[in-house]
Amino acid sequence: MNILTIYLPLQAGAGRILFIIIFSHILYKYALMVIVANLAHHYKGFFAFIFMEYDGD
């Protein structure tokens, strides 16, 4: 009984931390995609030039 009362809050805390880590990771990847998409939109010619350069290699 005593072990259970200690274990349950720990499990809830670990779950909350894991959720925050996963959520922030997804949010970070989404933010990165948005930034890359915006950069690609503004510097389309620049990106095309880079891809053309590395494509021939």
Structural domain including 57 reads 20-57
Total tally of structural domains belonging to the chain = 1
Give a yes or no: residue 4 inside a domain: no
Residue 13 in any domain: the answer is: no
pLDDT tens digit at each of 57 positions of the chain: 566 666 666 677 777 888 888 888 888 888 888 888 887 777 776 666 666 666 554
From residue 8, how far is each of 4, 14, 29, 49, 55 by CA, in Å?
6, 10, 32, 56, 55
3-state helix, strand and coil shares in percent for the chain, rounded to the nearest 5:
95, 0, 5
In a domain, 14, yes or no: no
Instruction: Report if residue 36 sits inside a domain.
Output: yes
pLDDT at site 3? 64
